[in-house]
Structure 1
Amino acid sequence: MPIYRRSPVTEQPTQPLIPTPIAEEPTNGQLNVTFVTDRDFAGRQLVGSRSKQEDFYAFSDVSDPGEPALTQLLVGLGDGLGAHSGGNLASAHLVTEFIKAYKSTKLAESWRMRIALEQANDHLDELSKRYGGLLPMGTTFIGLHITRTFCQWISVGDSPLFIFRNGKLERLNADHSLTPILEDRVRNGEITEEESLAHPDRHILQSACMGQPLTLVDARTYPYDLHSGDILLAASDGILTLGTKEIEELLLNGSRNSAAKLANSLLFAIRCVDHPRQDNVTIALVKVP
């Protein structure tokens, strides 16, 4: 079954709902291959200045038969569209159905993730119809499959997936908002960077999961190699209250800390900014052992 973890409205850090496996001593020079809860992966949420939490995330064990538990992780994260009254339901439903669909098929990884997303998106349409179409539903989405040596992902919308490696933060997935288009206009000299940053349409989405045919999907169809010490960070766009340099400094200074402590430090930094219109923030962080 999926491993669901979602913080309450009180914004207190959630506690893991799965047992922490006992780390085994290396045998014959081989390292333990499993991820350990909180040490290697953790998720945290912040409501911010919003009236409710519309993000949802989950970790799930998708290890192959015969492998130790938590050898492979599946992460799902959705940011419900705030303009839609059913945003919180959309994110929770899409992530839940994606994990269920992923675990019910054994296709090649790239097809497995795409089909799971399509099935979850179809379920979102069915859920909306139960309310007679009166409860508009939409959400961004990140699906991430991780082992100790590689990862693959699929995403829709503007929720970022980052990798932190050798002191540098790099975005892995595509941004399906209008931001990349505005940045292209800056590079072409059509508008200034200041005009781009202040543009009222900057955060309008080109694509989202709304139960309708998906217009833009970013899918990594082959493995992305991971190295020991890499940090993968899936998040809702509320994390962008922090700049790239701020995130890099926090991850670099805390690189020896657990995943749980790193996630907490990121949320603490966002709280310290005290943005008057702070969006919901969700962080799903994985340290590669």
Structure 2
Amino acid sequence: MGIPIEFQEWMPYIIVLGAAVAILLLIGARRHLLAYAPADKLGVPIGNGQTIGAQDEQGDYFSSATTPYGTTAVVADGISGLAHGRLASTIAVTVFIREFLKLSNIRDIHDYFTKAAKISNSEILQQLRGAPGGTTLVAGVIAGDRLYWAAVGDSVIMVFRDGEFIWMNEEHALETVLKEHRLVGGV
């Protein structure tokens, strides 16, 4: 039993119409799913950009990662003028990301920052073997509606809220420490 002759001439139109309806249903379903997906399932959008400036080598390194516990972004600025700033910044960021991916509970976030900093320092010293090199580092973790952060050196963490930038951290540079001691009569 075949298709009646009067419907055969309409068959290509019916197939195209059916395909168009199927595509529209799929697009609608996708939009619906994205509109109602929980924000933590979508992650935090991360953007980046960098410029080498007047340096001969790009000493900065950055990375980000998302787990069920949150999203992290880590930026390290290799100390310019030292031969191995890029190596130091790469090691530091790599260690922070690696340790973040091991994090099994957001309540351990402070231990994560401490452990990652110690391991980074150890691995940098081991790789450099006394050669000059170093890096600053800032790391942030967004978990739900909270920001956790760590900073070493003079790199800055700022939060943009209500149209204003809010400076979150203090510089941890030797020059800053010496100035603070001098101001209180320590040096």
TM-score (norm 1): 0.46
Correspondence 1:32 to 2:39: yes
Contact 1:97 1:120 in 2 (8 A): yes
Cα distance in 2 for partners of 1:33, 1:94 equals: 27
Percent identity of equivalent pairs: 23
Count residues with an aligned counterpart: 150
Cα distance in 1 for partners of 2:73, 2:34 equals: 24
Q: What are the equivalent positions in structure 2 for 1:230-245 lying under 5 Å apart? A: none
1:76 pairs with 56, 74, 95, which one?
A: 74
Alpha-carbon distance, 1:185 to partner: 8.5
Larger RCO: 1 or 2 (CA < 8 Å, sep 6+): 1
Contact 1:81 1:87 in 2 (8 A): yes
Correspondence 1:55 to 2:60: yes
RMSD, aligned α-carbons: 2.7
Correspondence 1:46 to 2:51: yes
Cα distance in 2 for partners of 1:183, 1:119 equals: 28
Contact 2:43 2:71 in 1 (8 A): no
Judging by fraction of residues, say which structure has more helix. Answer: 2
Structure 1 gap ranges (5+): 1-21, 65-71, 189-289
Contact 2:89 2:134 in 1 (8 A): yes
Could you list the per-position Cα deviations for residues 144-191 of structure 1 after superposition, in whole angstroms to 9, with x for gaps in the alignment? 1113400101111000000111111111011123358769989x9xxx
Q: What are the equivalent positions in structure 2 for 1:82-97 lying under 5 Å apart? A: 82-97=80-95
Could you list the per-position Cα deviations for residues 94-116 of structure 1 after superposition, in whole angstroms to 9, with x for gaps in the alignment? 11012112323436111111112
Q: Give SS of 2:87's match.
A: helix
- Give the 3 Å change call, closer, same or farther, for CA 117–180 of structure 1 in structure 2: closer
The residue number in structure 2 matching 1:111 is: 111
The one-letter code sitting in structure 1 at the alignment partner of 2:64 is F
Cα distance in 2 for partners of 1:151, 1:139 equals: 23
1:164 pairs with 160, 164, 177, which one?
A: 160
Contact 1:160 1:175 in 2 (8 A): yes
Q: Give SS of 1:51's match.
A: coil
TM-score (norm 2): 0.69
Q: Give SS of 2:39's match.
A: coil
Contact 1:84 1:136 in 2 (8 A): yes
- Runs of 4+ in structure 1 off by over 2 angstroms are 31-37, 101-107, 177-186
The residue number in structure 2 matching 1:68 is: none
The residue number in structure 2 matching 1:140 is: 136
- Give the 3 Å change call, closer, same or farther, for CA 104–148 of structure 1 in structure 2: closer
Cα distance in 1 for partners of 2:79, 2:36 equals: 46
Structure 2 gap ranges (5+): 1-30
